[in-house]
Structure 1
Amino acid sequence: MQELLWLLLPVAAASGWWAAMRTAQRRSSTTPGEHNPVYFRGLNHLLNEEPDKAIDLFVEMLEVDSDTVETHLALGNLFRRRGEVERAIRIHQNLIARPALTTEQRGQALLELGQDYLRAGLYDRAENLFNELRQNKLHLAHALRHLLTIYQQEKDWEACLRTAEELERHAGEDRSVEKSHYYCELAEQALQKGHRKEARERLRKALSVSPRCVRATHLLARVERDGGRVAEALRLLTSIVEQDSDYLPEVLEEVAQAYRALGQRDRLRRFLLAMADRYPNRGAELFLVDLIHELEGEQAAIDYLSDYIARTPSLLGLMRLLELRCNRADGHNDGLLNQVRTQLNRLMQERGAYQCGKCGFEAKSLHWQCPSCHAWASIRRRPLRDSDL
């Protein structure tokens, strides 16, 4: 309540100034000592902690003319930022209803009202206003950005593509990353309908606008795998490492499956050795441990991992080593080691495995669009550090 009272003081001052100006203009026709009673009623509401009534009176006093348009816009914007969306809508609607506004002033009022509707979740109304601005070429870049937000919320990916391209033309913005993900979304819709050819075309289009789009390459690899082209799927999966090595952990399982399906365990081993050396602590060493265990036995796997951890400290590697030692085939099971492994597992499960590089949002699974800040391709697997435990 106290904050709102402080917010209304400038409004009261502006209203008082306006009333004084009007009084001065009409001084010749006004009885001495006469004052605007509405202004004093508004002050009285403020003193009695009745801000809602005070707002209505002060806004009523501020008649819309060339001197007060900016005041109305600023006041509505303040209320929207404070979450008082209904009041912001009322102020901006009142402003738009005035016929004396210039084209620029009306455009600014439409933009503010559209943002009010967007904040209130009234997407249809907001879309109509932003499209009006779009057609009249008023505040075009702002209108297009808000339209893009609405179309993403509604998952209208075709409209997103059109709007992103329009933004690129008129505002000079690079929207290639977003466009590639819109194509990926359309590809996933096509796959759900069993339209593999359409999905492949969408994914190739995604890669044409953003050659480093990991999501498009990953989806295309799955399309090829499901179509029986395992070798091509493997080529695409391994190329992801060159696109962005941060996504290596996301494809290791499928890479291993493809090599095995092709009967190429030796090539799989060479690949994992190279990845563990080039990109330590990204998970390749753990897949290599499993392969060594399969080919050479338990002790060889323990020896390799012990040597790897000595050269490259790794919490994940340490946990895998504890698991191997706790489940030894020879029956030597250390109860204390088992307790340590259990507690480490519990602590790691409590932390988010992924984090957005834009806003810091943490998640337990990979999202291609951040649920918090809505940035695309901003979430990566977090490196595990001692400070996380």
Structure 2
Amino acid sequence: MYEALLLLLPVAAASGWFAARRGVAVKSQKQPQEISPVYFKGLNYLLNEQPDKAIDLFIKLLDVDSDTVETHLALGNLFRRRGEVERAIRIHQNLIARPSLSREQRAQALLELGQDYMRAGLFDRAENLFIELTELKLHNEQANIYLLEIYQQEKDWKRCLEVADRITVSHYPALHNAIAHFYCELAEQQLRQQNMAAAESFLKRAQHMKRSNVRVLILQAEIEYTRGDCRSVIRLLRQVEGSDPAYLSETLPRTIECYRKLGQHQELYDYLEQLYQRHHCTEAMLILADMIAESQGEGAAVEAILKHLSDKPDLKGLERLVRLNLQRSEESPRETLEVLLSSVSKLLDKEPAYQCEHCGFTAKKIHWHCPSCKTWGAIKPIQGLGRNIKG
């Protein structure tokens, strides 16, 4: 109730002022102005917790003209920002229905109503309004940016590319990065249909938009993997380290598989050891520990994990340490180790594996397009125990 009063009292005051200004016969500049009784009725609705009725009255009091259009727009925007989208829609629809609006004022109201519809999830209605604005060539840039948001929500990547072509980078700084991901999305669609040539064509365009592109390298490696070219897979995935080492954990399973298929076990060990020395990558250490256990015994693997945990503590390393000790233990401490292993495993199950470095959104699987802040390529594997958000 208190919030509604704070929101609507300025509008009520403006309504009363306009009503008084227009309801008084101008006989003398010193004659006191009379306030419309409808104004007091609106205040009464507010005090009795009936904001919808109050809104209707204040809208009627505020006749739409050049003096009051901005007041209507501001009121609608306030409601939308507060999440009261239905009220925002009512106000903006009422505004558009008035024949006295100028071309520019109607366009502004259409833009605001389109944003209301987007907030309400009515994307088809919002799309129609933004398309109308582009046809009118009014608020063209903003309308296209909102259309781009809608098509991304609907995963209509071809229309995303069509709209992106009409947007200037100065109004959308992350445009090139977004376009590269649109091409990657189309490439993934073609990969699922086993259309390798079309997928490669889209990936070339993605790389042209953004040279250092981890997703392009990963998808190119998948194409080579389907062709059985393990050497090319290794070559491509090893380039990820130079582009963004944060994604190494995404590439290691396929890299390790290809090394083993080629029978290059020593080369794999050397690569993992170098990788670990450069980045202290937990996933690299876990594979190294398995290889050390096979060649040197579980004791040596335990020592390697212990050293890793002393430098960079994390739950995955702790789980592996407990598991290795459980394999080596006598009967007496087994029960304690089994409880510890179960506890750590449950903690790992609850922990997110990925986090958006832009907004902090966390997830169990990778999303190239953050569901929260809608940023492309900002969700990355969480390293160690810490979670970092760019300020």
**Length-normalised TM-score, structure 1:** 0.91
Post-superposition shift, 1:180?
A: 1.3
Whole-angstrom CA distance in 1 between matches of 2:298 and 2:360: 40
**Match in the other structure for 2:88:** 88
Contact 1:165/1:175 (<8 A) preserved:
no
Provide closer, same or farther for how the CA distance between residues 303 and 89 of structure 1 changes in structure 2, counting only shifts above 3 A.
closer
Whole-angstrom CA distance in 2 between matches of 1:162 and 1:314: 45
**Match in the other structure for 1:49:** 49
Post-superposition shift, 1:130?
A: 0.9
**Match in the other structure for 1:253:** 253
Provide closer, same or farther for how the CA distance between residues 169 and 315 of structure 1 changes in structure 2, counting only shifts above 3 A.
closer
**Match in the other structure for 1:197:** 197
Whole-angstrom CA distance in 1 between matches of 2:76 and 2:125: 17
C-alpha offsets along residues 287-306 of structure 1, whole Å, 9 cap, x if unaligned?
11112223344334334334
Provide closer, same or farther for how the CA distance between residues 228 and 35 of structure 1 changes in structure 2, counting only shifts above 3 A.
closer
Post-superposition shift, 1:382?
A: 1.6
Post-superposition shift, 1:320?
A: 1.4
The RMSD of aligned alpha carbons is: 2.6
Whole-angstrom CA distance in 1 between matches of 2:236 and 2:324: 32
Contact 2:178/2:376 (<8 A) preserved:
yes
Whole-angstrom CA distance in 2 between matches of 1:121 and 1:311: 48
**1:24-39 matches, cutoff 5 A:** 24-26=24-26, 36-39=36-39
C-alpha offsets along residues 314-373 of structure 1, whole Å, 9 cap, x if unaligned?
543333122111113988964323322222222232221211111111112211111212
Contact 2:282/2:317 (<8 A) preserved:
no
2:165 aligns to what SS in structure 1? helix
Contact 2:169/2:175 (<8 A) preserved:
no
Q: Structure 2: where are the runs of 5+ without partners?
A: none
Which moved further from structure 2: 231-240 or 102-111? 102-111
**Match in the other structure for 2:110:** 110
Whole-angstrom CA distance in 2 between matches of 1:375 and 1:387: 18
Matched, 1:68 2:68: yes
Whole-angstrom CA distance in 2 between matches of 1:110 and 1:8: 23
Matched, 1:138 2:138: yes
**Match in the other structure for 1:127:** 127
Contact 1:114/1:126 (<8 A) preserved:
yes
Whole-angstrom CA distance in 2 between matches of 1:179 and 1:324: 46
**Match in the other structure for 2:347:** 347
**1:1-389 matches, cutoff 5 A:** 1-26=1-26, 36-168=36-168, 171=171, 173-310=173-310, 313-328=313-328, 334-385=334-385
Whole-angstrom CA distance in 2 between matches of 1:160 and 1:166: 10
C-alpha offsets along residues 36-83 of structure 1, whole Å, 9 cap, x if unaligned?
332232233234333222211111111001100100100111122223
Provide closer, same or farther for how the CA distance between residues 303 and 121 of structure 1 changes in structure 2, counting only shifts above 3 A.
closer
Post-superposition shift, 1:200?
A: 1.5
Which moved further from structure 2: 342-351 or 115-124? 342-351
Contact 1:221/1:232 (<8 A) preserved:
yes
Post-superposition shift, 1:236?
A: 0.6
Q: Which amino acid aligns with 1:56?
A: D
Post-superposition shift, 1:142?
A: 1.8
2:168 aligns to what SS in structure 1? helix
Post-superposition shift, 1:212?
A: 2.0
Provide closer, same or farther for how the CA distance between residues 338 and 52 of structure 1 changes in structure 2, counting only shifts above 3 A.
same
1:327 aligns to what SS in structure 2? helix
Which moved further from structure 2: 13-22 or 115-124? 115-124
**Length-normalised TM-score, structure 2:** 0.91
Q: Structure 1: where are the runs of 5+ without partners?
A: none
Whole-angstrom CA distance in 1 between matches of 2:198 and 2:128: 32
Contact 1:353/1:364 (<8 A) preserved:
yes
